[in-house]
Amino acid sequence: MILCVNPNSAVDKTVVVENYRLNAIHRPSIELVLPGGKGVNVARVAKALGQPAVVAGWVGGHAGQFIEDGLQAEGIHTAFIHTVVESRECFSVLDPVNGTLTEVYEKGRPVAPQELEAFYSLFQERLPQAAMVTLSGSLPPGVPANFYARLICMARAANVPSALDTSGEALRSGLEEGCPDLLKCNRAELSGLVGKPLETLNDVRGAIHDLAGHKCARVVITLGETGAIAADGERTWLAQAPKIAAVSAVGSGDAFLAGLVCGLLDKKPFEEALRLAIAAGSANALQIGAGRLRAADVELLLEQVRVAAE
């Protein structure tokens, strides 16, 4: 079982609006409402790839009930602390004519100190059943920057590997205080971490070599439609994504992480787990709605992914 920590749960609303314009009234051609948050997306893809997952975090109010009920209806197990405040909403407008995506994400409501402590206890209780922990996304107000670092340390004490996918101070603290087994982030997040622009692939290579083997066992940096680069302190791999007619890239990074974790839990060589990650991220981009990939698309795309050791 993958324990997917999802601290900033959300109701994700996506609408498709052709020729979207500011200061105009629009009537969407497609509307989609789903339980959301990066950890939710990871769990959704993991389930599609055959790995059971549990989503853990906080939910509250009518929105929180929608998130919990929706996940359970999808066959995804939940382990939520219920709060006195409403869960957040995130809104995306996809314009397929102009190829634009406009996103408005609420920050999330504050988590009270007792709710924070309740989650630490819940996490500790769930660790014995976990084969791996994923820690994904932004932190709501009231949750300290070292939240992920503390969870990583708890997981290590229980001999459960962890994968971190976040940004900003939560990323910095998670690496310096927690040292996860796997770090996954994108180029912009890595640039913010190292404090300098990473304009070329060689810039990225240099940054991940400094991290791999020092701060965590493996580092994987996604490069959008190009693919990804990974390192473990000794070797480096460059993965090239297949050419696809992308519909929406929302959630593709989360799908990538789910594919990578599923591959590792299936005891695949790291190169093959990376190949599965690229295929899952690409398959996600063929659908509207984060984590709503088709297993058949993953299988088809797997044969088109190229991974080379450097």
Which positions are catalytic? 254
CA dist., res. 147 & res. 137, Å (int): 12
CA dist., res. 92 & res. 13, Å (int): 6
CA dist., res. 148 & res. 172, Å (int): 10
Instruction: Compute CA 33 distance to the chain's CA centroid, rounded to the nearest angstrom.
Output: 18
Amino acid letter for position 248: S
Furthest CA-CA distance within the chain: 55
Which residue from 178, 202, 181 is spatially nearest to 264, judged by alpha carbons? 181
Phi, psi angles (nearest 5°) of residue 229: -130, 140
